[in-house]
Each structure stands twice: as structure tokens, then as C-alpha cells.
A and B are shown apart, each in its own frame.
Chain A
């Protein structure tokens, strides 16, 4: 147990140091949602009418609606970036160091995901702080209550990234895979438009949005920001985390030879 905690601390510290040294990464992670918030949301404000849906108890502006989705976006990109760095580590060989540690592989991979989550949470709070500065604020309790939710949603997105990294054989294939994950996950979700709005356009699209794990992550964040619970979203996120993390363990199982040998 003690060894496992030492290992967790070291992996999280390493990720934090990487994060501190890679200022561009932090900046990019902030600029992306801010562009959506300031430019995209301002443009769509007039075009999109939003009815009163839970957790909102009154009419809200589009900027307010979009913020939880952008928090999810930060975590989605972070999860995928962690996955990219895992593929890179594997290509460069440093993943071998991790996988040959005597500690259980499941724990090592969980530590990796959790380290990525901690970085994504810092990014989300930085984004929420800037949003507050420009006038988009949430109840004070929401900022606290959203923390455990961000851990859970971050773990889910991190485990999706981990699973993907176990299936991608080469770094060059990563960009292609990302196009089939990040964009569909984001656009076919409730991040930008509520579910009922999507059903007006297409029942099929509505159904896809409804089963998209990212939609549930966004909705859980949205409810938590208003101090409310969303049990179905919590269940979806938890189940997805378990499924994708189990898939990652399968993917990184030494029987499957995810690490290519130099023959």
C-alpha cells in the first residue's frame, strides 16, 4: 500500500512538472474553450433560444449554457493529450519503464490517468475563473461541488484516452483516430445544444447524443455547478469509466504485446 502511494505521488509529480514546464500546453488548453465562449457563444446567442430545463430555473444566456460543455471540452482534450503522450512514451521507450515496475500494472495505469485528471482540473478551474471575470458566474457552492464530479468525468475521459492509446500502434495514426473521437464526441453531445433542440433536427442525432458518454459527463458537470445531483449521468460516467479502464487493462495486458519489440 505504501509503495503504491509513493508511486502515485511520483507519477502525479512528474505530470505536474511536465505541465509547469509546458506553458504552451496550459495556454492552448485555456485559449480553446475561451474562443468558443467569447466568439462562438456570442455569435450563437441570438440564433439559439433556450427554454428552461433543469438544472436552470430561469432563462439563461447561451454563454451560461455552454460553460459546462467547455469544461468537459477541456477534460476531453486533456484526456486525448494524455493518450497522445502515452503513445509517444511507448514509441520513445519510456513506457517500458512504467510497465516493468513491480507494482500492479492496473495501479500504474490508474496513476497515469489520475495524474492527467489533476492537470485537467487545474485547467478547468482556470477557465472557470476567467469565465467569472467576464461575468459568467455560478453559485459559490457549485465551484466546490463540481470538484468530485470533475475527478469522475476526468477519469472517464482519461480512461477513454488510455484505451485508445493501447489500440494505436503508431504515433502517425493518432491524428486520424482523434478526428474520429474528439469531434464526434464534442459535437454529438449536449455541450453546445440541449438534447431537446437536437431532437428537433433529427431523432437519430438526438439518440446518438443521448448515449454519448461525453453528454453525460457534461450534464453531470452542469448539474454540479448548480449544486444539484444528476444520478443517471453519474451512473453513465461511472460505468463508462469502468468499461474503458477495463478495456485499457486488456489493451496493456502483456499477453497482447502492446509494446513492440525491436526484432
Chain B
């Protein structure tokens, strides 16, 4: 860590500055996430059709798509809430279907819906999650302290989760997703319902994580969360219609206009 940066909107909270700049991002060789020919149907309706892509370490991959494009289905498949009848998912080379335990232990997840126990304190929630990952209290304690400090939440460790605002709850979920030191971070529309300041802070923080080597798959329909060097996966009607950097996708126009043009009904 080369230094710290003030968490926007919160004078007392600080976030670490990434050690390397965005131009230094070099994808690692083994994909942290590799999806091969993935398909999933709800009855007769195809939710995903023959989806293939890879996300490498150090990459921020934005999964863009209009409502109903299949983003949440893809996340459910990646987290094994659903099992695909066809296709393969590999997490850092480990097949999710054949070895779910090893594969899931490499994934950090921030769900679209909050998954916190509101009656427990921030710290207790994190200890609970750590235990679900098989981490003992002794192992988890320093990791929890570190994760909370990194997200400027250390002073709120003993607070009841119910008393936190939406932004703090999201930061806490992000801290939780990092406790077991995953190699891949999945975030399903993590900024929905947050104010602009919290949204920017979380988006910047996660971008910073990729500079430390983490692979990120970020589902969103808010294009202002995407930076030019990010990979963009455009999902439409269950199929990938584009997979390139945001800069090359948008060309000379704004990403927002390009997204609207690409997803406009014919």
C-alpha cells in the first residue's frame, strides 16, 4: 500500500490507494473466471444461450445488460445457486460443477439484495460469514479488522447492522466478501439504491482492488460506473453481443449513448 485516500463523504473513513496505476494492469495467465458454452433455460424460455468468456486477474469486467438480459441468472450459476445443464464454469482453473467446495472458496460475492443479519453487530455478521467459510475465530479476527479498516468501517464494528445506512451496509458486505481472500469478486448491481457519493466510493474502491490483482465481475446497468480500460460484457437476451474494453466499445461517443443504441429495441 502506498498510502491512504479519504473515503468520499466520510472524513473519518479512509481507503488505501492502490499500489499500481491502471496502466500497469497486466492480466494474469490463468483466468480467474472462465465460462464455456453456458446455457440455462427457465422452462421453454432461454435465459442464457451459449455464453463464453473469461476474466483474468487484475481485470475489472463490467457485465452490462438491460433488465431481463440474464445477468442475475448468470450470477446464480456462478455462485451455484443454480446448476447449468450445459456448459462449464471454472474458477481459477477449478471446475465449479466437479469441485464446488474448492471453487466457491475462491469467490467473494456481493449480492444484489442485502444478505446481512440486521440484529447482529457488524463484527458478528463478519464472524458468522468467516465461519461459513470454515475460518476459526482466531483466523478470522485479524482479517475482519483489516477488512473493516480498509473500508473505513472499523469504528462501527460493534454497531448493530440495523443502525447502518445503505452505504455503510454495502461497504460492510464488500468487506465481508473479501475476508476469505478470494481470487474473484462477483458483485451483482452493488450500488443499487445508494446515493451518488457512496456509489462513487464503492466503484472506485473496487477498481482499486483490481490494481492489486483481484479479478472483478461487476453486473450493472449504470454505465457511469465503468472506466475506459475496463472490459465490458454486453449481455442481451441471454447472449453476449459485445466483449471488449469500454473505450473500444464506445469509440468517439459516450458509453451511455453506445449502450442505448446497442440495446434499443429494433
- The residue on A at minimum CB distance from B136 is A6
B54 within 8 A of A: no
Q: Is the CB of B134 within 8 A of A7?
A: yes
A51 within 8 A of B: no
**How far in angstroms is the closest Cβ of chain A from B109?**
6
**Bound: A3/B80 CA distance, A:** 20
A135 within 8 A of B: no
Q: Is the CB of B81 within 8 A of A99?
A: yes
Q: Is the CB of A92 within 8 A of B80?
A: no
Cβ contacts A79-105/B at 8 Å (1 or 0 each): 000000000000011101111111110
B194 within 8 A of A: no
Query: Which of A2, A10, A259, A263 touches B132 (beta carbons < 8 Å)?
Result: A10
Q: Is the CB of B134 within 8 A of A102?
A: yes
Q: Is the CB of B76 within 8 A of A261?
A: yes
Query: Which of A17, A21, A92, A104 touches B101 (beta carbons < 8 Å)?
Result: A104
Residues of B contacting A255 in the complex (Cβ-Cβ under 8 angstroms): 82-83
- The residue on A at minimum CB distance from B113 is A93
**Bound: A2/B127 CA distance, A:** 16
B interface size (C-beta, 8 A): 40
Cβ contacts B102-136/A at 8 Å (1 or 0 each): 11110101011111110110001001110111111
B15 within 8 A of A: no
**How far in angstroms is the closest Cβ of chain A from B190?**
13
Residues of A contacting B102 in the complex (Cβ-Cβ under 8 angstroms): 102
Q: Is the CB of B120 within 8 A of A97?
A: no
Residues of B contacting A97 in the complex (Cβ-Cβ under 8 angstroms): 111, 115, 129, 132
Q: Is the CB of B79 within 8 A of A96?
A: yes
Residues of B contacting A25 in the complex (Cβ-Cβ under 8 angstroms): none
Q: Is the CB of B127 within 8 A of A254?
A: no
**Bound: A6/B68 CA distance, A:** 39
Query: Which of B47, B79, B107, B129 touches A263 (beta carbons < 8 Å)?
Result: B47
**Bound: A14/B101 CA distance, A:** 23
Q: Is the CB of A102 within 8 A of B100?
A: yes
Residues of B contacting A10 in the complex (Cβ-Cβ under 8 angstroms): 127-128, 131-132
A interface size (C-beta, 8 A): 33
**Bound: A103/B47 CA distance, A:** 28
**Bound: A261/B124 CA distance, A:** 27
Query: Which of B47, B76, B117, B133 touches A259 (beta carbons < 8 Å)?
Result: B76
Cβ contacts B210-238/A at 8 Å (1 or 0 each): 00000000000000000000000000000
Q: Is the CB of A254 within 8 A of B81?
A: yes
**How far in angstroms is the closest Cβ of chain A from B69?**
9
B200 within 8 A of A: no
Residues of B contacting A18 in the complex (Cβ-Cβ under 8 angstroms): 119
A9 within 8 A of B: yes
**How far in angstroms is the closest Cβ of chain B from A144?**
31
User: Which of A70-127 touch B at CB < 8 Å?
Assistant: 92-94, 96-104, 108
B72 within 8 A of A: yes
- The residue on A at minimum CB distance from B67 is A263
Q: Is the CB of A101 within 8 A of B124?
A: no
**Bound: A231/B133 CA distance, A:** 39
- The residue on A at minimum CB distance from B80 is A254
Q: Is the CB of B82 within 8 A of A254?
A: yes
Q: Is the CB of A102 within 8 A of B101?
A: yes
Residues of A contacting B112 in the complex (Cβ-Cβ under 8 angstroms): 93, 262
Residues of A contacting B103 in the complex (Cβ-Cβ under 8 angstroms): 102
Q: Is the CB of B109 within 8 A of A100?
A: yes
A257 within 8 A of B: yes
Residues of B contacting A14 in the complex (Cβ-Cβ under 8 angstroms): 117, 120, 128
Query: Which of B76, B111, B117, B132 touches A103 (beta carbons < 8 Å)?
Result: B132
B73 within 8 A of A: yes
Residues of A contacting B114 in the complex (Cβ-Cβ under 8 angstroms): 92-93
Residues of B contacting A17 in the complex (Cβ-Cβ under 8 angstroms): 119-120, 124
Query: Which of A3, A98, A254, A257 touches B134 (beta carbons < 8 Å)?
Result: A3
**How far in angstroms is the closest Cβ of chain B from A73?**
27
**Bound: A160/B70 CA distance, A:** 34
**Bound: A94/B100 CA distance, A:** 20
Residues of A contacting B75 in the complex (Cβ-Cβ under 8 angstroms): 261
Residues of B contacting A92 in the complex (Cβ-Cβ under 8 angstroms): 113-115
User: Which of B133-151 touch A at CB < 8 Å?
Assistant: 133-136
**How far in angstroms is the closest Cβ of chain A from B126?**
11
The 8 closest A-B pairs by CB, nearest first: A3-B134, A10-B131, A93-B113, A101-B132, A102-B104, A102-B105, A254-B83, A97-B115
Could you name 28 residue pairs across A and B whose Cβ atoms are closer than 8 Å? A2-B136, A3-B133, A3-B135, A4-B134, A6-B134, A14-B117, A14-B120, A14-B128, A93-B111, A93-B113, A94-B116, A96-B79, A96-B109, A97-B115, A100-B81, A100-B107, A101-B133, A102-B103, A102-B133, A254-B81, A254-B83, A255-B83, A259-B76, A261-B72, A262-B72, A262-B112, A263-B70, A263-B73
